[in-house]
Amino acid sequence: MLEWISAMNFTAPWAFSLAAVVPALVLAYLRKTKLTRDTVSSVLILKALKQHPRKKRKFKPPLRFFIEVLALLCLLLAVASPFITDRAEHTAILLDTSLSMKAGGATENRFQLAQKNLIKWVEDAESDAVYTLFVTAPTFKQIGPERISSAHVLNLASKITASLSPDSLDASLQELESTGRFERILLISDKAREDQSPFESTTRSYQPSGTEIVSLRVGAQVPNVYIAGARITANTAPTSTGDDASQLALIDIGLSDSTARDVPVSLFQHPNGPQGPKEILSKQTLRVTPDGLSSAKFPLPAELPQASTLSVELGVGTEKNALDDDDRAWLELSRSGATPILLVTPHPELSSGLESLPHLALETASPEQFQLKRPESLSRFRLLIFYGTSPSVLPNSASLFILPPQGNQLFPIRSEPTLPVITSWSENHPITTYLNVPLIRPERALVFQVPYWAQGVMNVEPGPIVVTGETEGFRYAAVGLDLLPFQGGKAPTESVLLLNFLGWLTNQQALSLGHVPGSSLELTGDSNWVILQPDGELSQLESTADQAASFQFETPGIYRVTEISGKTKDSLSKTARIISVNVFLPQESSTFQVMSFQVAPALTRENIIPSSSKPLWPQLVMAVLLLLLAEQVLRFVPQSKLKEQVP
């Protein structure tokens, strides 16, 4: 009992000051009980009774008085919001299960090393500590029940394997820290905190907000060669040998190492589909350097059937190659191809990062060239991106306006604040999906006046810096942040924001967010869907106008998504969408470098009841109600009456 009381804390201890009103209530009660005036026929007999002068009278309050005082005290206690904190130390274990954790060492990969470190750490910890286990990929989620023992957590951890997906370690860590549920977060990862020495492998703990974060960094530098991207593109530059192939398979290859090497690259055809045998189409050796990506180009024979499944493999083996999951990629010839996008900017060099995005057929044009284009020629572009420029009227295509110029008519600039800080954003908007907005710290931002058909999505102090809307059947967005060039993993938050824009503006038709294992495809509209997976299995889904269907890609390969039946007249196209899912994760594949993660700014932890604590106010409120009920019952119980009879 004493232990229970000593574990009690209060959210609003100021409520106890209200107890000063109790003496006043007692006084009022005393006065009330004494002064009922009653006229009687005669005090002759009453006078003879033993009288009780007010001063000498003993205060004998009835039971109802004590019940009322007790109810009042319970109410005061409930207002003070007591809670009991579980004394046992509660640790959240966050295991990095991203692709990079599969990087192999001589005898074991990073994830196996992480599991060993976890075992040692848990065994060295206090025996009565409790844990909750989380993984970071394919999605951040809890594994097993809350508050489990060390034996249980080790059992669960032994059954987990690293995934083929990337993770957002920053967001996972911030989410854990913000709950306030844990005294400690144990992070086991091959990534290091941004201000930490990348090769430091010892335990570091920091307490930015009261929760201790212990980081166990595992894994040594290991070289790796990987495929960063693969696409079919038009052959706009025939080779000097006179190859007149109309299409090329363009393969981007990255090297995470200190020195360049020659990498054999082979292109295969799968005449009987992805599950059938493969036939080599072409092979070449590419000199790959550590800085940037090197591209292998494979002219595609004209006689290739329309619906052809192709695959690319790197012939590097396991020597000096930490991961083999990123050494293969899938291509589909009959795909409608990458989404045609036109970038209109006076700075064509800004297109560099966008060109590397899969499923994107990017063309660039200067503002002057854009003005010369005929409207009919623009209709083939699924999306127009205007950087630093703006037409005078809204185009008849979905459009993204990045840093439009002062004086533009479409999204007038209201102000350009110095040291802008993002203060609020719409959490339910597709633009902010998967986005850790607090990590966006722009050096420059434009604040817009919002058109009547649009809404602000992301705001700094003076106003919105991201505006989106839909009018005349097309979607438009304006962003006052510099999102180009697309830097991918080097600026992950800005990259996710740009990809969100591309996805929302094109209605996810061909541009999917991260077609990597672990990512999901959202199917919208009132329709039934069938998805043919790489292993030949079929999945059926149903989406409605109010609720989209979601499908998660688990393995690399070619997925065919077909809309079987539209329920409304304006259903989407009935042709199958071909989605290639590949392990194109340059950041995860760069196992020779150490990725970093950020810890978000400290949260205000005042008046936050740790969720491991048990609030007591519901029980106290129930006690108050029961006491008041008892008091009311006693009011109606008649006072005892004299039974003596006059002789």
Partner 1 sequence: MLEEFTPRLYRGLQQFSIHTKRKFLGTRQGSHNSPRRGHGLEFADYRPYTAGDDFRHIDWGAYGRTDRLFVRQFVEEQSLNVLFLIDASGSMAFPKDGRKFWLAKNLCLAVAYVALSDGDAVTFASLGNQVTPQFTGPQALRRAAHALEQVVPKGRIDFVNEVRAALATQKIPGKCFLVSDFLFPEQQFVEAVDLIRAKNFDVSVLHILSPTELKLDTNNPAFLAVDAETGEEIELLLDHNSRKEYASRLASHVAQLEAHCARVGVAHVLISSQEPLAEIVLTRLPELGLLR
Q: Considering the complex, state which of residue 16 and residue 59 has its C-beta at the smaller distance from partner 1.
A: 59
**Around 467, how many Cα atoms within 13 Å sit in the side-chain half-sphere?**
25
CB 30 to partner 1: min, Å? 11
Q: Considering the complex, state which of residue 40 and residue 302 has its C-beta at the smaller distance from partner 1.
A: 40
The three-class DSSP label of residue 203 is coil
Q: Considering the complex, state which of residue 18 and residue 30 has its C-beta at the smaller distance from partner 1.
A: 30
CB 20 to partner 1: min, Å? 27
578, amino acid identity: I
Strand partners, 184: 91, 212
Question: Which of 339, 236, 355 is closest to 292 using CA atoms?
Answer: 355
d(CA 33, CA 223): 90
Q: Considering the complex, state which of residue 57 and residue 116 has its C-beta at the smaller distance from partner 1.
A: 57
CB 62 to partner 1: min, Å? 8
604, amino acid identity: T
Q: Considering the complex, state which of residue 34 and residue 120 has its C-beta at the smaller distance from partner 1.
A: 34
CB 31 to partner 1: min, Å? 11
d(CA 523, CA 296): 34
CB 646 to partner 1: min, Å? 5
Q: Which two tokens stand for residue 278?
A: 């493969």
Q: Considering the complex, state which of residue 54 and residue 569 has its C-beta at the smaller distance from partner 1.
A: 54
Rg value, the chain, Cα: 35
CB 50 to partner 1: min, Å? 7
Q: Considering the complex, state which of residue 536 and residue 647 has its C-beta at the smaller distance from partner 1.
A: 647
Q: Which two tokens stand for residue 84?
A: 């009991």
Q: Which two tokens stand for residue 168?
A: 């957002």
Contact 407, 416 (CB under 8 A): no
CB 624 to partner 1: min, Å? 27
Beta strands in 432-537 (DSSP E): 447-448, 454-460, 464-471, 474-479, 520-523, 527-532
Q: Considering the complex, state which of residue 4 and residue 636 has its C-beta at the smaller distance from partner 1.
A: 636
Contact 225, 243 (CB under 8 A): no
Main-chain phi, psi angles of 421, to 5 degrees = -130, 130
Give the residues lining the site for partner 1 (CB under 8 A): 33-54, 57, 62, 638-642, 644-647
Q: Considering the complex, state which of residue 20 and residue 43 has its C-beta at the smaller distance from partner 1.
A: 43
* Residue 153 backbone zone (phi > 0: left; psi -120 to 50: alpha; other: beta): alpha
d(CA 344, CA 403): 12
CB 46 to partner 1: min, Å? 5
CB 22 to partner 1: min, Å? 22
CB 640 to partner 1: min, Å? 7
* Residue-by-residue DSSP string for 345-377: -S-GGGGHHHHTSTTEEEEEE-HHHHHHS-HHH
Main-chain phi, psi angles of 111, to 5 degrees = -70, -40
d(CA 577, CA 336): 8
Q: Considering the complex, state which of residue 258 and residue 640 has its C-beta at the smaller distance from partner 1.
A: 640
CB 181 to partner 1: min, Å? 55
CB 33 to partner 1: min, Å? 6
Q: Considering the complex, state which of residue 39 and residue 127 has its C-beta at the smaller distance from partner 1.
A: 39
Q: Considering the complex, state which of residue 44 and residue 151 has its C-beta at the smaller distance from partner 1.
A: 44
d(CA 146, CA 90): 10
Q: Considering the complex, state which of residue 5 and residue 45 has its C-beta at the smaller distance from partner 1.
A: 45
d(CA 231, CA 222): 28
Burial 182-205, CB ≥16 within 10 A → b, else e: bbbbbbbbbbbbeebeeeebeebe
d(CA 270, CA 273): 5
CB 71 to partner 1: min, Å? 22
The CA-based diameter of the chain, rounded to the nearest angstrom, is: 139
Would you state the torsion angle of the CA atoms of residues 235, 238, 239, 240, taken in this order, to the nearest 10 degrees?
180
Q: Considering the complex, state which of residue 50 and residue 374 has its C-beta at the smaller distance from partner 1.
A: 50
CB 51 to partner 1: min, Å? 7
The three-class DSSP label of residue 165 is coil
CB 56 to partner 1: min, Å? 10
Burial class (CB in 10 A: 0-12, 13-18, 19+), 106: exposed
Contact 584, 358 (CB under 8 A): yes
Burial class (CB in 10 A: 0-12, 13-18, 19+), 636: exposed
* Other CB atoms within 10 Å distance of the CB of residue 271: 12
Contact 161, 190 (CB under 8 A): no
Q: Considering the complex, state which of residue 50 and residue 159 has its C-beta at the smaller distance from partner 1.
A: 50
